[in-house]
Structure 1
Amino acid sequence: MDEVFSYNKEEDNFYISYKKSLGSNMAKHHFHSTYEMFFLSSGERQFFVKDRTINIKEGSLLIINPNILHKTMNGEAPQYERVIVNFHNNFLYNEKCNYQQQLCQLFKNDYIVIDFPHHHRIYIKEILDKIISEAKHKHTGFQLQIKSLVLQLLIFSCRFIEETQIQPLQYISSVHERVSEIVKYINSNYSKNLTLQYIADNFYISSYYLSRVFKEVTGFTFVQYLNLVRVKEAKKLLEETNLKVYTIAKKTGFGSVTHFGRVFKEITEHTPLYYRKTKKY
């Protein structure tokens, strides 16, 4: 049986999740307005992040910036133990201080994977164990203590990468590299009338082969991924502009407002207008 714990209060600007599992995938898309720290205490996982699939091994810390599409998948070993800490931008920045600027090495790219040596893993796990304990017991000042511990972990990670040469990520295989090229193309051309056949022709492969390897590598079907990218961009336009819904649908590649509204609600559980009303500015 899985062992799980989570802490999530609307009034706080962080979220904590612990899981020890025999192995499972994220059931659906996963992108959000928070930063995410994913530390793998044991086991192995595969992550699709932005435009590629990467292996995460025991002792690795993955930090993902807000609104970056990602999804976990089983690695070769199904058993794993992980801790996730999500936090909002105002966790790092307010009128009096800007921790984000001081920790810029961690956030200058859309994501970073840090593979810690064994003696550092012990220290990091101690910090995370304290964070989980604080969230469970809720003693006086626990929110402040959690924030202090999270900042301690971020500072330690930032100093580590400043002192250590982080090796560039390698593609798992040539197939993964090819699919990554296709994903990058979709990310840059989502506003066009993209179809599976169009992409297959563009990359000189069969549509059947593309459909199969795309799902194997990313964990998404072609249509699922394309819709997620389009909705992610539509959410941004709804939040940051006064463009009409029809215009946003057109800019993000949807053939009609009706289709846009249906897909948007399937993914966000809200209509575009309701989302704008609750999230704008």
Structure 2
Amino acid sequence: MTDHHENVVSNLDIGVRFFESDVTTSGYVPFHWHSSIEVVCVLTGKLTFKFDGQSHVVGPNQFMVVSSGVVHDVTNLPNRAFVLQIPLKFFQTFYPDPERLRFVPTTANQAAYHTVLSLFDDLYRVKRDQQPGYLFDFGAVLLKLIKTLILNFTTETPNLPQRTDGIKELLVYINQHYQAALNEQQLADQFGYNASYLSRLFKKQTGVTMIQYIYVIRLNALYQDVIKSGTPIDKLFAKHGLTNKRTARQLFKEMYGVLPSELRRQQLAKQSS
């Protein structure tokens, strides 16, 4: 598992990160957060973002903006997407207190929505062609994109985010210790909460129960090992803390549409073809 607070390392000299993501398998990125604003424009396939207790499905020719510091997870089908990550310090010259920006996913303004999609195409073309002085062109398109997002896809009176420090610490712990025998009472005691209160708080801020989240983490880890390793599946159940194999198989099929054994056979067939 990786650190679940992500710092953006720019891949362009102007200080932002922009790339095309091509993912060929289904997957899941556990709850995490950025010290940047992230914009994802889906070209093919589907991504589902979950934050503030709600799920947001993003398909082809749609985009999602995730505000700085917002705890979110991402479930994906095979997909291609443009990803733009903009550190807060990049905004500061143009917009005061960018950490207060709260982006609202909406398609109400169709003209602005299509402008954003078109500007993503422009960013990709400029970066791909890299004509002399292309960073000037990229910067000009980027500023127009940021302006369009702020004027059309933010709340009118941005509020400071709700305190999530305790939940963030808990998420990091679960992500790093998901293989262990975890339960709500033990986690509540460890982090100084009443178990009932922590259960409600977790569900409110993530949209899932703590036990559901632990299972999702374990099943995703199992999925990755099934397709990437030759380890016997029974050993993988134990490796990832899935002690009730029957329940694990049922939940795995609900998440991925196949049983682990069927997925392994499919993967072996692909490799031999």
Q: TM-score, structure 1 length as denominator?
A: 0.50
Deviations 1:147-206 (A, max 9, x none): 965723877489959xx9xxxxx98233x1111111111110000011111111111111
- Indicate which of 53, 62, 77 corresponds to 2:39: 62
Percent identical across equivalent pairs? Answer: 19
| Distance of aligned partners of 1:247 and 1:34 in 2 relative to their CA distance in 1, 3 Å threshold | closer
1:237 corresponds to: 225
Q: How many residues align?
A: 189
1:51 corresponds to: 32
2:237 corresponds to: 249
2:198 corresponds to: 210
Q: 1:278 and 2:251 equivalent?
A: no
Structure 2, unaligned stretches of length 5 or more?
1-20, 55-60, 65-75, 96-110, 129-137, 147-158
Please give the alpha-carbon distance, in whole angstroms, between the structure 1 residues aligned to 2:197 and 2:228: 38
| Distance of aligned partners of 1:197 and 1:190 in 2 relative to their CA distance in 1, 3 Å threshold | same
| Distance of aligned partners of 1:84 and 1:189 in 2 relative to their CA distance in 1, 3 Å threshold | same
| Equivalent residues of 2:179, 2:240 under 8 A apart | yes
User: SS in structure 1 opposite 2:192?
Assistant: coil
Amino acid across the alignment from 2:115: E
Please give the alpha-carbon distance, in whole angstroms, between the structure 2 residues aligned to 1:157 and 1:191: 45
Q: 1:185 and 2:206 equivalent?
A: no
2:125 corresponds to: 152
Amino acid across the alignment from 1:189: H
| Equivalent residues of 1:215, 1:221 under 8 A apart | yes
| Distance of aligned partners of 1:69 and 1:34 in 2 relative to their CA distance in 1, 3 Å threshold | same
Please give the alpha-carbon distance, in whole angstroms, between the structure 2 residues aligned to 1:50 and 1:158: 33
| Equivalent residues of 1:211, 1:222 under 8 A apart | yes
Please give the alpha-carbon distance, in whole angstroms, between the structure 1 residues aligned to 2:28 and 2:125: 18
User: SS in structure 2 opposite 1:71?
Assistant: strand
Please give the alpha-carbon distance, in whole angstroms, between the structure 1 residues aligned to 2:41 and 2:229: 25
1:126 corresponds to: 115
1:78 corresponds to: none
1:136 corresponds to: none
User: SS in structure 2 opposite 1:50?
Assistant: strand
Deviations 1:250-280 (A, max 9, x none): 1111113223212211222210111223346
Amino acid across the alignment from 1:84: F
Please give the alpha-carbon distance, in whole angstroms, between the structure 2 residues aligned to 1:153 and 1:123: 21
Deviations 1:39-87 (A, max 9, x none): xxxxxxxxxx723599x9xxx752499xx98414579xxxxxx923899
Structure 1, unaligned stretches of length 5 or more?
1-12, 16-30, 36-48, 76-81, 93-99, 132-146, 165-169
User: SS in structure 1 opposite 2:211?
Assistant: helix
Please give the alpha-carbon distance, in whole angstroms, between the structure 1 residues aligned to 2:52 and 2:235: 36
Amino acid across the alignment from 1:172: P
Please give the alpha-carbon distance, in whole angstroms, between the structure 1 residues aligned to 2:248 and 2:231: 15
Give RMSD over aligned pairs: 5.2
Please give the alpha-carbon distance, in whole angstroms, between the structure 1 residues aligned to 2:115 and 2:38: 14
| Distance of aligned partners of 1:219 and 1:74 in 2 relative to their CA distance in 1, 3 Å threshold | closer
Amino acid across the alignment from 2:162: S
Deviations 1:97-150 (A, max 9, x none): xxx9xx9xx58xxx98897979xxx9984361x59xxxxxxxxxxxxxxx9657
